[in-house]
A = this chain, B = another copy of it.
Amino acid sequence: MTTLDTPDTPFAVVDAARLDRNIARLRDRLDALGVPLRLHVKTCKSVDVAGRVHAGGPITVSTLAEAEHFADAGYHDILYAVGIDAHKLSRVAALLRRGVTPTVLLDSLAQAEALTRFAHEEGIRIPALIEIDCDGHRGGIAPTDPALVRIGQALGDGLAGVLAHAGESYFAYTPDALRQAARNERDTVLAAADALRAAGLPCPIISVGSTPTAHAATDLTGVTEVRAGNYVFFDLVMAGIGVCTTEDLALSVVVTVIGHQPDKNWIITDGGWMATSRDRGTAAQAVDQGYGLVANLAGRLIPDLFMTGASQEHGILTSRADRPLPHLPIGTRLRILPNHACATAAQHDRYHVISGTTTGSATPVVDAVWPRHNGW
């Protein structure tokens, strides 16, 4: 029997009970709001995780490698939500020819014209969403930008709708601010749809999403789909803005204590940034969690202990406010709860799956190993 004591450390763990609870929570929310989910698989990159959500259902991907991997597993409605460049269109066309509907994203006339030219030459239709900027976070155009209608016209029958991502909602620190981010994401993308329709263009798809806004929205009238992906695992950044609690974190990294520096109040582990990533997403939050919180193997947080330093294969744990360190001898295994699940998961090529956090002191049993599909 394999338990969390068995594999060589470091390795990634998924708590399936928390995973399923997180999945059910958003499903219930979206059912109540009457809007379907388009799971973003960029966090999990796992067919096994996606299967717990909706096997074969609509997904969002962040790379064409994800699109191809999920197509192999029977997913046929795939949105590639990173602005498309012409050189990637041959892989998009290959997906289309194997029966997948691969929708692409763009926010410029140059991209729209390149897409239309390519589709015409190939004799195919590649559906495209126009990216709408709702909060100045990254890409997209404003719904009032005259380029919007010109892009829609340039897409011709490729125009499939509009998309917004409230990236700034990761920095919304109150329930009110989160609800406002969700309202703004919806209102902005609906305004863009109205602008297209007012110009006589179709806009069947109105796509919104981020894990914070998906959990804060109270009215999604007019929206046709919600994208979210981080929520399957959650992380300390999400806990820091109040979207979840640390009890919801389904991803962790098992490490082993390999040394002590008592003069510095340090415990040294074999889990460095190679195992956790360099992500310091909580550094800007009210409570800086370093590189992560520390739990015992059963999953219970060890009070005041956190990971403050990382080199490639070494982690440094210490106590907050110079509290005395717990007695954790060499060989002790611990679980690090990460800042940013997307970044930490990306450092691993598989998940060790446990059925849940045990009561008592029993070491959780590993029920399965799920592969991850990294790369581009």
Q: Specify the main secondary structure of chain A where it touches its partner.
A: loop
- A350: nearest residue on chain B (CB-CB)? B375
- Could you tell me if A42 and B8 are in contact, using CB atoms closer than 8 angstroms? no
* A367 within 8 Å of B (CB atoms): no
**Complex Cα spacing A343 to B342, Å:** 16
Query: Is the CB–CB distance between A312 and B278 below 8 Å?
Result: no
**Copies per complex of this chain:** 2
| A259 with B343, Cβ < 8 A, contacts A8-B87, A270-B83 known | no
Contacts of A312 in B (CB 8 A): 42, 62, 342-343
Q: Is A83 a contact partner of B139 (Cβ separation < 8 A)?
A: no
B83:A258 contact, CB within 8 angstroms: yes
Interface positions, chain A 226-243, Cβ under 8 Å from B, are none
Q: Which residue of B lies closest to A332 (CB)?
A: B85
A266 CB to closest chain B CB, in angstroms? 9
Q: Say how far A333's CB is from chain B's closest CB, in angstroms.
A: 9
Is A359 among interface residues, defined by CB-CB distance under 8 A? no
**Given A42-B312, A110-B331, 18 additional A-B pairs, CB 8 A:** A9-B85, A9-B376, A10-B376, A83-B259, A84-B258, A85-B256, A85-B331, A111-B258, A133-B261, A138-B268, A138-B316, A139-B259, A167-B311, A273-B279, A277-B277, A278-B278, A278-B280, A312-B342
Selected A-B contacts with CB under 8 Å, 29 pairs? A8-B64, A8-B88, A8-B91, A42-B313, A62-B274, A62-B312, A82-B313, A83-B258, A85-B256, A85-B258, A85-B331, A87-B256, A87-B331, A108-B259, A110-B329, A133-B261, A138-B268, A138-B309, A138-B314, A139-B268, A273-B279, A277-B277, A278-B278, A278-B279, A278-B280, A278-B343, A312-B342, A346-B347, A349-B374
